[in-house]
Amino acid sequence: MSFIRHPYVLASLIALALLVWILSGVGQTPEQAKSATASPEAKATEVTARKVAAETVVREVNLYGRTQPDRMATLRAEVKGRVLEVLVERGARVRAGQPLLQLHQRDLPQQLARAQAELKQRQIDFDASNKLAQQGLQGRLRQAEVETELVKARAEVKRLELDLDHTTVRAPFDGVFNERFVEQGDYLGIGDKVGTVADLDPLVVNAEITEIDVVGLSVGQKAYATFIGDQPVNGEVRYIASVSTEGTNTFRIEVALPNPDGRLRAGKSTELYLPLDARKAIYITPALLALDELGNLGVKTVESDVVRFLPIEVVKADGDGIWTGGVPDEVTLITIGQGFVRDGDAVSVQYEGANQ
């Protein structure tokens, strides 16, 4: 049978369907009718989480610098003369006052002997003049002249003694005779370079620290340094600049490293670690970090099956993860599914290691 040829049949079927639909609502309350027509409640998002306890972590700053001698002196000739003998080889360890070079003394010993003899004569003259003055037989002018001659003789003896002593070039302090600029037979004038002595105990590391981190630093604070090819060494901060380096807003610091055996060398690249303070933090992988709508860095946690975004601060980092501070002592951290939920969303939580 065709519905087009018999339209009254199609109209009867539509009327019957409407009657059945109307009768189906008879006997239902408005709430039941609303419940029947409403869409089913959305299912909570499933996430995986684990409980993480905060630990005490020491925050530290990492700096780069170079080792330098504690002090270095350039030795120069204080008297003229020929190099008679080289007493210490380059690179040798020396003690304060140890002879390094010997210059020819020329006629200095003879000049000193003459000056000493003249000093004795001037002393005799002064003593005699003083006795005469006490007896009233010597004028004050003559007495002053004799005293002046005595002072001149003493000064001449002292000058020659110093010149004679300076013919021996000595180490000014304990260290290493690092460089020598002369050889045996060279003639030196006053002021000519002889060599350098470097004090390597302690060894000093110079570095620059930012204006943020310098606030937590103090003189005497512990530090440790690592080098390429050497074992780490513990030291301490001995100097912090009070004025920043122009153009960088960083502050120069010095870390002293004990080096009694001279094993460590100056001029090596150094990595410094300076502990600043202790904080509570949790250890996470970078994959668990998230950003909120304002761009704040944080993590997503669960409280009573509701997502909470916690802003964090990075305390320290290593090759595998980071220690983040600014969190409670214990948090339920979302580890899987954090990318599909936002702060305030209701979630169904499954804990890591649980069957359900």
Burial 38-51 (b: 16+ CB within 10 A, else e): eeeeeeeeebbbee
Half-sphere exposure of 52 (CA within 13 A, CB side): 25
Task: Give the model's pLDDT for residue 33.
Answer: 44
* Pairwise CA distance, residues 18 & 7, whole Å: 17
DSSP run (H or E) holding 146:
helix 140-166
Burial 207-243 (b: 16+ CB within 10 A, else e): bbbeeebbeebeeebebbbebeeeeebebbbbeeeee
Task: Give the model's pLDDT for residue 22.
Answer: 55
* Pairwise CA distance, residues 150 & 128, whole Å: 12
Per DSSP, 41 falls in state P
- CA-based nearest residue to 299, from 285, 279, 315: 285
* Pairwise CA distance, residues 300 & 289, whole Å: 8
Per DSSP, 214 falls in state G
Per-residue pLDDT of the chain (356 residues; tens, 9 = 90+): 444 444 554 455 455 555 545 554 444 555 544 444 444 455 688 899 999 988 888 888 889 999 999 999 999 999 999 999 999 999 999 999 999 999 999 999 999 999 999 999 999 988 888 888 777 767 778 888 888 999 999 999 999 999 999 999 999 999 999 999 999 999 999 999 999 999 999 999 999 999 988 988 999 999 999 988 778 899 999 999 999 998 888 999 999 999 998 888 999 999 999 988 888 888 888 888 888 888 888 999 999 899 999 898 888 777 788 888 888 889 899 999 888 898 988 998 888 865 44
DSSP run (H or E) holding 50:
strand 45-53
Task: Give the model's pLDDT for residue 206.
Answer: 93
For residue 126, the SS3 value is helix
* Pairwise CA distance, residues 155 & 158, whole Å: 5
Is the pTM of the predicted complex or chain greater than 0.75?
Answer: no
Helix then strand then coil, in percent of the chain rounded to 5, is 25, 40, 35
